[in-house]
Amino acid sequence: MTGTALQVYHLARRSVVRQARQPANVVAPVIFPLALLAVNSGGLQSATTIAGFPTDRFVAFALAIPFMQGALFATMNAGTDLARDIQTGFLSRLSLTPVRGVALILGQLAGVAFVATVQAVVYVAVAYAVGVHPRAGAAGVVVLLGLAIAIAIGFGAVGVFMALRTGTGESVQGLFPLLFVFLIISSMNFPRNLIEVGWFRWLATANPVSYLIEGLRSLVIEGWNGEALALAFTISAALITISLVACGLALRTRMTRT
Amino acid sequence: MRDEAEYKGDSEAVGLGARRCRDAVGVTAVRDFRNVSLAVAWRTLHNVLHNPSLLLPGILFPLLNFVAFFGGLSRLRHIPGFDYPPGYAGFQFCFVLLQSAAFGGVFTGFGIARDFEYGFSRRLMLSAPRRSGLVAGYAIGALFRWLINAAVVTAVAFAAGMRVEGSAADVAGIYLLAVLVNVAFLFWACGVAMRFQSVQAGPIMQTPVFLILFFAPVYVPLKLLQGWIHALASGNPITRVLEANRGLLAGQPVEVGAAYLVTAGLIFFLGLWAVFNLRHAEAKG
């Protein structure tokens, strides 16, 4: 293993072990979205009787939402962990070593990827348990997992950026309501073409989170929808790229070596 | 030798003195209770009003839910069997008002837990002559805090096109029920805060409240729910309160008596829970 790869490995291992040692960080992002899925799919089942609704089971329609909520939790966890490293002086001590910034960020995101994978596998298992079989089949499930992990890494990088920029866990936690607004004002509960209130439909259309949800959802209720998947992967790739660039810039200030 | 009449006179005088003494003690107890509760209420309200990070979540949380439910789900009013004169904005307003009331209590509970964590509550308990006034004070503070949230939610609901079909008395009934819900869930959160004495108990405070609220008919009327969620919502006491509020807004009161019974029962039992945990906190020192 090269020097950088070794650094990434060690920091990634630390990040994964750290996540695994905090059951609340793993369990809460799994349980809470599933409880909401149960409530919403029960309460909104009658919505499927509306003409044009794309499926006759709301739980299948809503299955994409836990993946997004899980990604939001990942943002908080990744950011809060790094902020703690900054507050406790771990990052300052790390900056005395030859560790590279890229290794630090990638290592941190490995923990996010680990939790996201656990979450996604549980969500898919629950879907099968309640009789929802993704229309895209087994290959579709693999793509679903890949997209879910990519989204979680994108949001996780946002959390890492916030931690590097502000250096406090409180500031990272303060980001949650803002990201939650993006989730709420999206097509998470209804298809965009069936949203009746004009301004809400406009906002949901302008909101990139709608396309992430629709990409995940397409694999479950439609099968292979190239356009929805292309949009979802493009947006998650853009989110990852922009966030990582921002992280790199913030890291230069945070890990100034004198 | 003192005669019997003198003894009788003495004992009457002693009885009168004891009564006066008891009355004086009673008056002092009431005054202590009032002073403690008003001081705690003032402090709670002062902290919230001077710290946006405490004020805003209480306002934004129900507001965002209203925006999401009204904006995203209005088409549900076209489902056969969905007939609600005040419109979908009114339908969701009733839920969000109750939610803001319940979480107004819970958010105040976070403040109580924080007071315990920083040791302020220990000093407060040492200085308060009537400690039950602490619970009452937090309840009064939570109530005034929620009134701000309720005003914002109401204004937004009107802006979204909510129609009020009920009379002034019906509307007063809606807010009174919400006040009772606020008090009940403040007692719940207060009890949890005093038991665990840490902000880390936040999920214990809010998760049951969240679940009991969302297992009510949030998106469509109870009659349109199907399967397990219908059974759960039917047995959920908050459903009675929600249905009563929606009936009052529509000018077609239903289950109002049951709703008041439910809220009175919640206040009674959760009040006991709060006082029980206050005693626990006192014993812990």
Q: Which of B68, B211, B232 lies nearest to residue A184, judging by beta carbons? A: B68
Query: Quick one: chain A helix, strand, coil %, rounded to 5?
Result: 80, 0, 20
Q: Rounded to an integer, what distance in angstroms lies between the CA atom of residue B237 and that of residue B208?
A: 13
Q: Rounded to an integer, what distance in angstroms lies between the CA atom of residue B180 and that of residue A30?
A: 34
Q: Rounded to an integer, what distance in angstroms lies between the CA atom of residue B247 and that of residue B167?
A: 11
Residue type, B6: E
The alpha carbon torsion through B96, B102, B105, B107 (nearest 10 deg) reads -60
Q: Which of A45, A180, A189 lies nearest to residue B73, judging by beta carbons? A: A189
Q: Which of A35, A39, A200 lies nearest to residue B72, judging by beta carbons? A: A200
Burial of A37 (0-12, 13-18, 19+ CB in 10 A): buried
In this prediction the ipTM stands at 0.72
Using a CB-CB cut-off of 8 Å, the residues of chain A touching B63 are: none
In chain A, which residue's Cα lies nearest the Cα of B216? A43
Taking every pair of Cα atoms in chain B, the longest distance, rounded to a whole number of angstroms, is 95
In this structure, the number of other CB atoms found within 10 A of the CB of residue B266 comes to: 21
DSSP per residue, A219-249: HHHTS--HHHHHHHHHHHHHHHHHHHHHHHH
SS3 B181: helix
Among B59, B60, B69, B73, the residue to mutate for chain A (most A Cβ within 10 A): B73
In this structure, the number of other CB atoms found within 10 A of the CB of residue A4 comes to: 13
How far is A234 from chain B, CA to nearest CA, in Å?
25
Task: Find out whether A15 and A77 touch, Cβ atoms under 8 Å.
Answer: no
| Residue A206 at interface with chain B, using a CB cutoff of 8 Å | no
Q: Rounded to an integer, what distance in angstroms lies between the CA atom of residue B86 and that of residue B88?
A: 7
pLDDT tens, per residue, chain A with 258 residues: 677 888 888 888 888 888 777 776 677 778 888 888 888 888 888 889 888 899 999 999 999 999 998 888 877 778 888 888 888 888 888 888 888 888 888 888 888 888 889 889 999 999 999 999 999 999 999 999 999 999 999 999 998 998 888 887 767 776 776 778 888 899 998 999 999 889 999 999 999 999 999 999 999 999 999 999 999 999 999 999 999 999 989 888 877 755
The alpha carbon torsion through B188, B191, B193, B194 (nearest 10 deg) reads 170
So what's the pLDDT on residue B247? 95
Residue type, A144: L
So what's the pLDDT on residue B226? 82
Residues of chain B with confidence (pLDDT) below 50: 1
Q: Rounded to an integer, what distance in angstroms lies between the CA atom of residue A147 and that of residue A216?
A: 7
Q: Which residue has the tokens 């059951």?
A: A23
So what's the pLDDT on residue A210? 96
Q: Which of A47, A185, A199 lies nearest to residue B68, judging by beta carbons? A: A185
Q: Rounded to an integer, what distance in angstroms lies between the CA atom of residue A93 and that of residue A87?
A: 11
Among B67, B82, B107, the residue to mutate for chain A (most A Cβ within 10 A): B67
The alpha carbon torsion through A59, A63, A65, A69 (nearest 10 deg) reads 120
So what's the pLDDT on residue B180? 97
Q: Rounded to an integer, what distance in angstroms lies between the CA atom of residue B132 and that of residue B112?
A: 14
